[in-house]
Amino acid sequence: MRERLRARAAVRRPTSLQIALADRIGQLDPASWDAASAGQSFFFSRRYLEMLQAVAPENVEPRFALVCRGDEPLAGVCAQVIRVSLEQVASPRTKAVLKGLEDRVTQRVLVCGNALTFGMHAVCFAPGTDRARAWPGVAEALYRMRRAEKLAGHMDLVVIKDLPGTLRGESEVLGKLSYGLVETEPDMVLTLDPSWRSHADYLGGLVSKYRSDVKARVIKRFDEAGCRIEALDAAQAGELSDELHALYLQVHGGASLRPFTLRPEYWAAIVRAAGDDGSLLVARREGKVLAFIVTLRDGDTAIAYHIGFDREVAGAGVPLYLRMLHASVEQSIRFGCRRVSFGRTALEPKARLGCKPEPMFVWARHRHPVLNRMLKPLLRFIQHEEAPDIDPFKKAS
């Protein structure tokens, strides 16, 4: 017990690391940030972060930090201050109990990560960094951020989101700092066979039952409805921003958890920032856009994470959602990626594509010691949907 108390006291003292906080990515030394994020995700690149802070949702304010040893950068921290109301995050039962107060009951949350994406976009570590030793510096940076926000109002909850299971061990020091851990819904990931050069090759890898289903129930119905797939560049996305946004809102409005709402100008901005590593595919019929999906190349992983479609047309039997998922698979093969990350929603149709669940978890901590003590046991009881076990591919001989 004495040893545990000594270890706990050690990690609760200020680290010997140097920390720089910023409200905008341009306020941090560019060379230091680039050194911390070298060779890592597109979502840590300055061009993406500059785009995001320019078109961030109304209730999302980006924050950044550099953790250094002297002048040597060890880690870059991407965080967001998010103002949420019960209307955005509460269950239907809670909303019914507090009817009329949904927009008046608000909370400011510090999220280490990116609410607009899924995956580990919270912390980037410079090559060669001892990550287990750098995590206390990340925690200290988040503590300083939270304390600095007192001028704008209380911010009681800190969440570090979307860490893969492989990082659980190295981030365990957060448990000694009173963070609680909870597993969330998994990321659904499709592994692409290196021999595939087209969507037809992907279909050829499916067993006949699933291949016939895709051809007849998805592709044939889509084509017979008079729809076609085409790509938009940033200029075209800007011209169609209102149409794209209306389709996004049809999907977004049906979600029970809506911590933010994107802005219409976001669609052109993300395509422009991604450049050749981005794709905005749309489904058109007689010139009208009925659906879209955004796919980004992030190293050897393609990320398909924004989708919108016309619910009335889909309700009439046109498989817009499934067709756009397959369009993203095709684009990911063209990108030369080895895997496609489809995120944590609609687990069953993604499992039928061949996706397998990859566990993700979050660390969470409440400012108030009593409430934090109550929060950690409650986190263990948070339920999430389990992905079905489906294997649509042929067995290797």
The total of structural domains in the chain comes to: 2
Condensed to tens digits (0 to 9), the pLDDT of residues 116-130 reads: 998 899 999 999 999
Condensed to tens digits (0 to 9), the pLDDT of residues 135-172 reads: 999 999 999 999 888 877 777 789 999 999 889 888 98
Asked whether residue 183 is assigned to any structural domain, the reply reads no
Q: Domain containing 210 — which CATH number?
A: 3.40.630.30
> 297 lies in which domain range?
188-357
Lowest mean pLDDT among 11-20, 48-57, 262-271, 281-290: 11-20
**Of 129, 144, 178, the domain-final residue:** 178
Cβ(278)–Cβ(259) under 8 Å? Answer: no
Asked whether residue 103 is assigned to any structural domain, the reply reads yes
Q: Domain containing 59 — which CATH number?
A: 3.40.630
- The pLDDT value given to residue 97: 47
Asked whether residue 26 is assigned to any structural domain, the reply reads yes
Asked whether residue 27 is assigned to any structural domain, the reply reads yes
- The pLDDT value given to residue 141: 96
- The pLDDT value given to residue 350: 94
Asked whether residue 397 is assigned to any structural domain, the reply reads no
Give the CA angle between residues 317, 322, 327 to the nearest 5°. 125
Given pLDDT bands bounded at 50, 70 and 90, which one contains residue 252? Answer: confident
Asked whether residue 172 is assigned to any structural domain, the reply reads yes
Q: Looking at the structure, do residues 219 and 169 belong to the same domain, yes or no? A: no
Neighbouring-strand partners of residue 157: 109, 366
**Of 132, 154, 178, the domain-final residue:** 178
Q: Looking at the structure, do residues 332 and 204 belong to the same domain, yes or no? A: yes
Q: Looking at the structure, do residues 168 and 37 belong to the same domain, yes or no? A: yes
Amino acid at 110: L
- The pLDDT value given to residue 372: 53
Q: Looking at the structure, do residues 30 and 99 belong to the same domain, yes or no? A: yes
The yes-or-no verdict on residue 77 having pLDDT over 60 is yes
Q: What is the pTM of this model?
A: 0.88
Average pLDDT of the segment spanning 375-394: 68
Q: Looking at the structure, do residues 172 and 225 belong to the same domain, yes or no? A: no
Q: Looking at the structure, do residues 20 and 104 belong to the same domain, yes or no? A: yes
* Greater model confidence, 56 or 86: 56
**Of 118, 150, 178, the domain-final residue:** 178
Asked whether residue 384 is assigned to any structural domain, the reply reads no
Asked whether residue 344 is assigned to any structural domain, the reply reads yes
Given pLDDT bands bounded at 50, 70 and 90, which one contains residue 386? Answer: confident
- The pLDDT value given to residue 283: 98
The yes-or-no verdict on residue 380 having pLDDT over 60 is no
Q: Looking at the structure, do residues 305 and 159 belong to the same domain, yes or no? A: no
Give the mean pLDDT of the chain.
88
Lowest mean pLDDT among 3-12, 81-90, 202-211, 319-328: 3-12
Name the one residue in this structure whose structure tokens are 């889509």: 222
Q: Looking at the structure, do residues 163 and 208 belong to the same domain, yes or no? A: no
- The pLDDT value given to residue 381: 46
Q: Looking at the structure, do residues 127 and 272 belong to the same domain, yes or no? A: no
Q: Looking at the structure, do residues 34 and 163 belong to the same domain, yes or no? A: yes
- The pLDDT value given to residue 43: 96
* Greater model confidence, 369 or 263: 263
Q: Looking at the structure, do residues 309 and 211 belong to the same domain, yes or no? A: yes
Q: How many CB atoms lie within 10 A of CB 349?
A: 17
Q: Looking at the structure, do residues 300 and 200 belong to the same domain, yes or no? A: yes
